[in-house]
Amino acid sequence: MSLAVASRYSRALAEVVFAPQCPTKPEQVIADLDAVVAAMQASPELVRILRSPAVSLNAKRGLLEKLSARLGGSPVTTNLLKVVCDHGRITLLKEIRQSFQSVVDERHGVARAEVTTAQPMATEQKIQLEAALSRLSGKSILATYQQDDALIGGAVAKVGSLIYDGSVRGQLATLRRKLVNG
């Protein structure tokens, strides 16, 4: 349920930010939301105040305006914070931010990839892998890399919900299934 709610807020936010007359760029809103989420994670007291039914809505809105101004937030972000707070969804801000990032990526034709390799990759190998993933997905790739010695060799790339397993461990598992199943 919370992911569906976050998705609705993020899509509405995207409609505002991508409107031709909006001076705020999506990257600014993402940075603003990152700053607010970090402030909330650093201050449990802030979250308690924003969630408390004993604190008036006007007081919460004022607090969010001051916080946004102190963090250099855009008017679009400040309005989002107020709307989310008004509807009692302030604790979903992190999920809204993540969902908004996905919407922005989608609109820009970008796919994020999580690549796990057995050994560190050279820059040229990363370029080749990202080009191959780009051809497969039809989108520009922004990849993050991590290492896992358990792969033995090769790489595993996750792009959205698709997993491309080119690891030795994956090939051995496929071979084992074929041998067991005949």
User: Mean pLDDT by 10-residue block, N- to C-terminus, for the chain (182 residues)?
Assistant: 90 96 96 97 95 94 96 96 95 96 95 92 94 93 92 88 84 84 78
Residue 165: predicted pLDDT = 87
Q: What residue spans define the domains of the chain?
A: 2-106, 109-181
Residue by residue, DSSP assigns 87-146 as TT-GGGHHHHHHHHHHHHHHHHTEEEEEEEESSPPPHHHHHHHHHHHHHHHTSEEEEEEE
CA dihedral 16, 20, 23, 26 (to 10 degrees): 50
Residue 46: predicted pLDDT = 94
Residue by residue, DSSP assigns 20-31 as TT----HHHHHH
CB distance 5 to 89 below 8 Å: yes
What is the 8-class DSSP label of residue 55?
S
Residue 117: predicted pLDDT = 92
Residue 41: predicted pLDDT = 96
CB distance 90 to 55 below 8 Å: no
- pLDDT tens per residue, range 67-87: 999 999 999 999 999 999 999
The per-residue b/e assignment along 42-73, b for 16 or more CB within 10 angstroms, e otherwise, is eeeebeeebeeeeeeeeebbebbeebbeebeb
What is the overall mean pLDDT for the chain?
93
Q: Which CATH architecture has domain 2-106?
A: Orthogonal Bundle (1.10)
Residue 167: predicted pLDDT = 82
